[in-house]
Structure 1
Amino acid sequence: MADAVVTVFLEKLLNTLHEETRYVNEFKEQFDKLKGDLQLMQCFLKDADRVKRKNNNETLRQFMAVLRELIYEADDILADCQLQSRDDDQNSNSWLTCISPPNLQFQYKTGKRLREINEKISHIRTNIMAFLNIQLSSQVETSAHNNRMDRWSSPVYDHSQVVGLEGDTRKIKGWLFEAKNDLLAIGVVGIGGLGKTTIAQKVFNERDIENHFDRRIWVSVSQTFTEEQIMRSILRNLGDASVGDDRGELLRKINQYLLGKRYLIVMDDVWSKDTAWWSRICTGLPKGKGSSIIITTRILEVAQKMGVQEAKIHFPKFLSKDDSWLLFRYIAFASTGGKCLNSEIEVVGKEIVAKCKGLPLAIKAVGGMMLYKPPQMREWQKTVERFREELAERDDSVMASLQLSYDELPPYLKSCFLSFSLYPEDCVITKEQLVHWWIGEGFAPLRNGRSSIEAGEDCFSGLSNRCLVEVVDKTYNKTISTCKIHDMVRDLVIKVAEDDAFFSPNGISSRHMGITSEIKTKQLAANLKLRALLSTTKTAEVNKIATTIAAKLNECRYMRVLDLSRSIFEMPLTGLLYQIGSLQHLTYLGLSNTHPLIQLPPSLEKLNNLQILDVSYCQNLKMLPPYIVSFQKLRVLDVGHCGSLEYLPKGLEKLSNLEVLLGFRPARSNRTEGCRISELRNLTRLRTLGLQLTCGDEIGDNEVHALENLKELQFLSISCFDSHGSDLIVKVDKLCPPRQLDELCLNFFPGKISPTWLNPVSLPMLRYLSVSSGNTAEMHQSFWGENNVLWKIEALKLESLTDLGMEWMKLREVMPLLQIVNVSWCPQLESFPIEDAGFRGGVWTKEEPHDL
């Protein structure tokens, strides 16, 4: 991935040269030479990487490895120059300049090392060009073309679409509906990439299956599972965290929850032929009432040992020629509604599809890659030729298509893709953590005036559109919130990441490391060049971090990303992070859901490069220190769900680069040291804002227009949880959001009638609306529009509004663009149908209260 490392570094270098800081200018000649060499090398590094892999050439491999290390070192030097410039600027007017001249030692060492790096890179460039027989005069393809931005930076493919599985799902559903006594076991058996999990998911999510079973439980079984992990996963599905119980107690709890219920359990992707663990669990499961188990596996013997009778084993078939082409069209031509508008390209496309041999995963990977190809015959024919080459090396169309898809990624996306190598098998990953990591390490290129969050989201869309990541959960408006990767995709990711020293499973000699349970001191000792250390534990699991690792953490001085979320510490976190100020290159600090975090340490003040600070779900955090307002580069500040936090420090308006602010609590009128809501007026780059309001004096009479100036704001959440006093209703009613708002979430609003500004005239661009909890019994008259002004809302969520009354037909009239409706725990909405024949393309979720 030398081309990826070069691309990420060049992005930083170009931006830094534009800033013209003191020490960067001091070495401008060397940085310019470096820039010129690397821009030239961008033209052929992608080909060099492909040749290195295909020919297994050790010489070329060594050249690329050395180049990669030199780029990392140059990146660290660039960061040190920026840091030194900032420190000198801070001291320029102080008495220190009289006794301490400019850092001559730093200048000498840095200049010397930059010259050495340039000489070595020039030598490598010459050797690689000679090896590939490249002449400067013949360079036609430019680095700009190699590193072009994606045509589609937003989601264009609906991952819920499936093709050719109607017969499979019908057959399995028939078995499920026929089940009477004992415990029915069904097996779905086939090779990797055939769609076993997709079939099980489709059955699992069908509405009639949902209605038929009282409980539905999905368990992803990794190759390194334990019996206890399986039982805890089942209990999590049933709403029980089950912390601290032994296996016997876990099994008793499972039995208690399922007793007298008709349930469906899916055990997805089982590998182990030793099924004694399943025999023990199965013994504790209640029998009868038509309860069933679906097992997906690649190994027939596994299904048989888990009690599946031969008559209830389903072997998915390869997709037919027509279904293969249909699936490919849905993805490759998603931007034109799944239609191929060029007959010549259709011929080439069908040749590509034929090489996938009816395997859905291969078709999706190639289809996602072709979505980003321009509709030119030359580009499509080139793909056919490369696919042939990959298939010649391995008779495996899935792995060939995945390798080809990786090779064709823009360089900046390769680093993002390899990030998945840190996560354990079947791990559910939050998109937010990925995006924050990519921003923090500079993987997401900032171009064309895009915000950093937008750039990170675009990178995620680039991978999801290419079908390299799988969707796990979406919000009510179909926005992806969590994801994972297929185990065959993970095999490729880990292989490439190990080859290119991005990640190593043993935690040694790599610049990126994941925390899956605990950190070992020796791992950190061998990784002083570590750039990213992230919590990669599975959902509902926690990390245990010993005190002894604190000193080693502080020695990783070039670390950019530190995410210790979902962790328990042996000592107070303030003590563990006492010297965190030594990590002055840190850009992303994640402390979400850590215990015990009571306050942030003083040394944090030194982290002037910090762009993302996440302390959400820290229930014991009582205050943020005043120095937070000095973090000029801060783009994301998340203090959401911090129950003990009363307010944020005064002066927050100084954070002019802030794009995301969640959990903002305005100070009450008697708290002069706290931040008032009026300060939000100056945060003009805010795109996401979460307000936490509890009483009326948090909003002054002269502050009700504080949000109107936020012209970039797209998402606004207003929560009045634990509110008191009727004056808050009046103040919120006057707190007008900006007109361009795209999504609004109103939670725990205490008023009986919705705010007057919640109407299509005041919010003409609103596409997504969520109203949950609270006392709202009716919508204000303005909600229904006036003078034929209609809502542009596409997705609506109404949840836990026990008094809300509303007529379905009236709502349909004022929301003609409505596609998604999610209604739960709203007993007065009797006119809302479960299904509506006129609701074209709609996705319905109408849930009624039920026992847990």
Structure 2
Amino acid sequence: MIVADAMIQQLTQQVFTALQEQARFALDFQSQFEMMKTKLDLTKALLADTENLKSKKKAVKTILINLRDLIYEADNILTDCLVRDEYQKDGSCTSFTLQKPIFLYQTGKKLKDINAKMETMERSLALYLKAPDESNHGDNTNQVMKYASQDCVPSEIIGLEKDLEKLKGWMLYAKDVLLRVGIVGMGGLGKTTIAQKIFNDIEVAGHYDKMIWVSVSQASSDLRIMRSMLEQLELHCSVSDEAQMLHKLNQLLRDKTCLIVLDDVWEINQEWWNQLCSALQNAVGKSNCIIITTRKEDVLVSMDVDKSQVHQPKTLKEDDSWLLFSKSAFSRCKDRKCPDAQFERVGKEILEKCGGLPLAIKAIAALLASRSHSIVQWIEVNDNFHELTSGGNFSSVMASLQLSYDELPSLLKQCLLCFSIYPEDSEIQAEQLINWWVGEGLVQGKGWKTAKEVGFDYLSELVTRCLVEAVHRRGYDGRVYCCKMHDMVRELTTKIAEEESFGEFDVKGKQEMTANSRWLGFTSEMNPKSLRKSSKLRALLIMSTYKAGFDRNIGSLSSLRVLDFSLTKLENISVEELMDWICSLKRLAYLNLNGVVGLKELPPSIRKLRNLQLLILGGCNDLVKLHPAITNLTKLIVLDLGSCRLQHLPRGIERLSYLQELSGFKVGASSRSSPSCRFSDLQQLVHLRVLRMSVGKESEIAENDRYVLLNLNKLKVLAIDAEDCEDNSISKKLDSLSPLQLSRSCISGVIAKILCLRGSILKGSLACNTFVLKMGISLTSKQALNM
């Protein structure tokens, strides 16, 4: 239950900031908040006694569960006070003034009750734990920035070259109409890695017309597998009936050679499998191939894979194990070599416990890489590894993963556990994940870095430690765009997330909705009515097609901080009613409505979301108008309006003074009579790091606006969409953005051009990492930045 430590850190910082800035509510309840901060500091010091915490785990578990619930309750009170402060600042609601005596009484009573309970818990904890000397206890989250690195290459093949050649030989010289190849073995043996290397092999790719990869997993269905296959063969899958899907697959693969990889198969519907194979065999071609990876030999038998076409990878030999281990463990050493004989001796002792399993080796090596200058710490890891594996409860893979988790700073542990709610084998968009972390307060800004920048550092650190796999990175700096998690790491996270009471999972690792869940990935198999009993939910991500009636249950989720619809389609619902329910969630900090169909106007009730910090409306193609009430959301740090049909942004955008990212800004008319936001209003958004704007025929940039962008000295990414460049008017407008000095020769007569410069650009006049100019082409800013 050490995750409670991370929550205490976050709440302590919020209380400290409120007291330091003398927020109104902090003055109203100053003595109670000062007492709360003192008690939080003491509790944090007690929890730092990790060794005694482990040995007394059963005794303190109940106390820590209650403590965590108490922290959430305190966070709700603090958020309510902040929301009330926001309303009082602009005097927009007189009812707050009338209700002030009641609010003061009720809130004061709650705070006193929380402080009293916290004091009782401290006395109970003190019986088992002791506060360490302050000099010996530092903030280990600082290590996250230091250790973030791209030195670790988790997908590198070592010791499996012969496996690849053997399988390629079977495939390239096959005479069967349909070749079935099986790769079988225990978890962590490298089955998926081998299949990936074959799938991405240039010689193999040249042998087949079509290539399909399906991550199957325990919770998969026949329909999901076929839908995935169809979506890889064509951009949109319009059929939903199983028979129609099979017929469509047959059509698309006719007269084609095809390679299909079914990764991580646990069981198979025999009737469906026979129909699928029959369809592939009837598709007349040279030779089709299906590769199946699984942990269970009987799965291959049921799928009619001939024994002669079954490959079982061996564990790595000693030399290959050491080579794989060394590449990561010594990546930060001089010349990337083992420092001395002591490190080699301890390293090889650790390797013996890994049993030649690549996943175990990579995980433990990534952990040791951050300690490559301390033989004492290596010995400590060796002892802990021995303790875990000798009890028989942990395999070498799970033991190495458990050690890697135990060594994470408490804040990173919370971030890692968030992966548990995503379905197995999901490819997760980093932006969505990090927005969640920021919205719930799991990640906060530090020094000159914003909360989102810190979040990307955290994700990079998890990748470096081989706990998360990077699927797609940005081209020029390696920032992770898309990631996924190995099924054995996910198995660990679901187990710990359940222990920490963030959620509950069935035997197949699928999340179940309960009244005590804090995070939920809502799927089509769940009943939306059950949400009424889930008042403790803080994060709700809709993972599948939206069900009618769902919106009627959102209003009961009073603790919700994160609401994300970006992974689903909204069907059979009233968008107006949905927005009414959403706007009743006064504690909401992150709202993602990306791609929502039918949302034409953001309603005036949006002003109620005074705690909102991230609002994502990108891809809402029906959105044509924003109500001016959006300018009341003064805590916004991210506003994404990209790809919307907005004619202009409302006046008053400069009130959003904390904005760090603004996408979809429309440069409107400069006259004061115009209802649209002017270009000159941008200069007050001094915290902007990312600005994506568009310049069109109706845009006006006045003479005195030419230095606006220079005032944005924190700007790192500037993207200008000037697609409407049929005449010289756009050229003149861009020229007026001096001292950017975009010469007319740079754009005149050019229909498709991207200018992407790094570092200080354009004669040093604008300190900006990336500049993108988009004209007359169908290329999103995100795609351009990936170049």
- TM-score of the aligned structures, taking structure 2 as reference length: 0.88
C-alpha distance after superposition, 1:324-365 (max 9, x if no partner): 233233333434474344554443333333322211111222
For residue 376 of structure 1, what is the aligned residue in structure 2?
Answer: 374
Q: Which amino acid aligns with 2:435?
A: H
Q: Structure 1 residue 204: deviation in Å? A: 1.0
* Whole-angstrom distance in 2 between the partners of 1:757 and 1:302: 50
Shift of 1:89: 4.3
Which secondary structure does the structure 2 equivalent of 1:266 belong to? strand
Deviation at 1:258, TM superposition (A): 1.8
What residue is the counterpart of 1:575 in the other structure? 577
Partner of 1:543: helix, strand, or coil?
Answer: coil
Tell me the amino acid that sits aligned with residue 35 of structure 2: K
Give, in whole Å, the separation in 1 of the partners of 2:175 and 2:775: 40
Distance in structure 2 (CA, Å) of the matches to 1:319 and 1:617: 47
Determine if the alignment matches structure 1 residue 458 to structure 2 residue 453: no
Determine whether 1:32 maps to 2:38: no
Query: Which whole-Å CA distance do the structure 2 matches of 1:269 and 1:756 have between them?
Result: 43
* Counterpart position of 2:308: 311
Instruction: Pick closer, same or farther for the CA change 1:761–1:85 going to 2, 3 Å.
Output: closer
- 1:317 maps to a residue whose letter is K
Match of 1:494 in 2: 494
Structure 2 vs 1, CA of residues 10 and 148 (structure 1 numbering), >3 Å: closer, same or farther? Answer: farther
**DSSP 3-state at the match of 2:286:** coil
Which structure 2 residues correspond to residues 145-184 of structure 1 after superposition, within 5 A?
Answer: 145=140, 149-153=144-148, 155-184=150-179
Map 1:674-685 onto structure 2 (within 5 A). 674-685=676-687
Distance 1:704 1:450, change over 3 A: same
Q: Is the 8 A contact 2:360 2:401 kept in 1?
A: yes
In the TM superposition, residue 49 of structure 1 has moved relative to its aligned partner by 9.0
How many pairs does the alignment contain? 763
- The structure-2 alpha-carbon separation of the partners of 1:495 and 1:308, relative to structure 1 and needing over 3 Å to count, comes to same
What does 1:509-588 correspond to in 2, within 5 Å? Answer: 509-517=516-524, 520-535=527-542, 537=543, 542-547=544-549, 549-565=550-566, 566-588=568-590
How far does the alpha carbon of each residue in 1:551-585 deviate from its partner, in whole angstroms, 9 at most, with x for none? 43223222211112233143331222214333222
Q: In the aligned structure 2, how far is the partner of 1:176 from the partner of 1:749?
A: 53
| Displacement after TM superposition at 1:145 (Å) | 4.5
Alignment partners' CA distance in 2, 1:631 and 1:821: 31
Partner of residue 206 from structure 1, selected from 191, 201, 215:
201
Q: 1:469, 1:366 → 2: CA distance?
A: 14
Q: Which residue of 1 aligns with 2:69?
A: 69
Corresponding residue for residue 789 of structure 1:
none
State the match for 2:444 in structure 1.
445
- Equivalent residue runs for 1:812-851 within 5 Å: none
| Residue 672 to residue 138, structure 1, CA distance change in 2 (3 Å) | closer
In 2, Cα distance between the equivalents of 1:95 and 1:128? 45
CA-CA distance at 1:269 after TM superposition:
0.5
* Kept after mapping to 2: 8 A contact 1:183/1:293: yes
Deviates more, 1:588-597 or 1:317-326: 317-326
Contact 1:720 1:749 in 2 (8 A): no
Determine if the alignment matches structure 1 residue 246 to structure 2 residue 248. Answer: no
Partner of 2:267: 272
C-alpha distance in 2 between matches for 1:290 and 1:700:
66
Equivalent-residue separation in structure 2 for 1:755 and 1:149 (angstroms): 35
Counterparts in 2 of 1:348 and 1:107: CA distance versus 1, 3 Å: farther
Structure with bigger RCO (C-alpha 8 Å, 6+ apart): 2
Which residue does the alignment assign to 1:603?
Answer: 605
Preserved CA contact (<8 Å) 1:733 1:757: no
Structure 1 residues 821 and 501: alpha-carbon distance in aligned structure 2, compared to 1, 3 A threshold: closer
Shift of 1:298: 0.7
Q: Which of 317, 322, 325 in structure 2 is aligned with 1:328?
A: 325
Amino acid at match of 1:550: D
d(CA) in 2 for partners of 1:378, 1:468: 24
Pair 1:342–1:19, CA change in 2 (3 A): farther
Structure 2: gaps spanning 5 or more residues:
505-510
Structure 1 CA distance for aligned equivalents of residues 701 and 199 of structure 2: 47
Give the counterpart letter for 1:507 in structure 2: M
* Deviation of the 1:484 alpha carbon: 1.4
Distance 1:519 1:490, change over 3 A: same
Cα distance change, pair 371–650 in 1 and its aligned pair in 2 (3 A): farther
Paired position in structure 1 for 2:507:
none
Distance 2:464 2:198 in 1: 24
Distance in 2 separating the partners of 1:748 and 1:442:
44
Query: Bigger CA drift: 606-615 or 729-738?
Result: 729-738
For the 8 Å contact 1:150–1:372, the answer to whether it is kept is no
Alpha-carbon distance in 1 for matches of 2:614, 2:322: 44
**Which amino acid is 1:496 matched to?**
I
Letter in 1 for 2:518: R
Secondary structure at 1:613 match in 2: strand
Does the 8 A contact of 2:263 with 2:293 survive in 1? yes
Query: Equivalents in 1 of 2:15, 2:205: separation in Å?
Result: 54
Match of 1:177, as an amino acid? L
Cα RMSD of the aligned pairs, angstroms, is 3.4
Measured in 2, the distance between the counterparts of 1:515 and 1:318 equals 39
Distance 1:347 1:679, change over 3 A: farther
Which range is displaced more, 480-489 or 693-702? 693-702
C-alpha separation in 2, matches of 1:771 and 1:104:
55
Q: Go from structure 1 to structure 2 and tell me whether the alpha carbon gap of 1:110 and 1:66 turns closer, same or farther (over 3 Å shift).
A: same
In structure 2, distance between residues paired with 1:775 and 1:606: 39
Query: Aligned in 2, Cα 1:579/1:250: closer, same or farther, shift over 3 Å?
Result: closer
Q: Does the C-alpha gap of structure 1 residues 176 and 443 become closer, same or farther in structure 2, counting only changes over 3 Å?
A: same
1:662 corresponds to which residue? 663
Contact 1:729 1:751 in 2 (8 A): no
Note the C-alpha offset of 1:296.
0.7
Matched position secondary structure for 2:663: strand
Q: CA deviation at 1:367?
A: 2.4
Given the alignment of the two structures, is residue 506 of structure 1 paired with residue 512 of structure 2, yes or no? Answer: yes
Q: Deviation digits for residues 444-486 of structure 1, max 9, x if unmatched?
A: 1322232122122122112111111122233444432111111
- Give the secondary-structure state (helix, strand or coil) at the position aligned to 2:260: strand
Please give the alpha-carbon distance, in whole angstroms, between the structure 2 residues aligned to 1:798 and 1:582. 35
Q: Is the 8 A contact 1:581 1:606 kept in 2?
A: yes
CA distance in 2 between counterparts of 1:763 and 1:156 reads: 33
**Are 2:397 and 1:391 equivalent residues in the alignment?**
no
- 1:654 and 1:29 mapped to 2: Cα distance? 32
Provide closer, same or farther for how the CA distance between residues 701 and 101 of structure 1 changes in structure 2, counting only shifts above 3 A.
Answer: closer
For 2:508, the equivalent position in structure 1 comes to none
Offset from partner CA, 1:237-282 (integer Å, 9 cap, x none) = 1123213431222122222222222221111001105433222111
Contact 2:154 2:362 (8 Å CA) reproduced: no
| 1:580-603 Cα shifts (integer Å, max 9, x gaps) | 333222111111111221112221
Number of the residue aligned with 1:13: 15
Residue 222 (structure 1) aligned with residue 217 (structure 2) = yes
Q: Determine helix, strand or coil for the equivalent of 1:144.
A: coil
Counterpart residue identity of residue 186, structure 1: V
Question: Which residue does 1:259 correspond to in 2?
Answer: 254
**Deviates most, 718-727 or 510-519:** 718-727
Q: Which residue of 1 aligns with 2:402?
A: 403
Alignment correspondent of 1:837: none
8 Å Cα contact 1:151/1:372 also seen in 2: no
1:113-160 deviations in Å (ceiling 9; x for gaps):
32332232233223223224x3x5767632534775442345443444
For normalisation by structure 1, the TM-score amounts to: 0.82
Partner amino acid for 2:556?
A: E
Contact kept? 1:275, 1:302, Cα under 8 Å:
no
Stretch deviating more after TM superposition (608-617 or 692-701): 692-701
Deviations 1:293-320 (A, max 9, x none): 1111111221233232222211112122
Query: Which residues of structure 1 form unaligned runs of 5+?
Result: 742-746, 777-796, 800-819, 823-852
Match of 1:130 in 2: 127
Do the aligned partners of 1:511 and 1:532 also contact (CA within 8 Å) in 2? Answer: yes
Distance (whole Å) between structure 2 residues aligned to residue 466 and residue 218 of structure 1: 26
Report what 1:791 is aligned to: none
Correspondence 1:295 to 2:295: no
Alignment partners' CA distance in 1, 2:91 and 2:453: 35
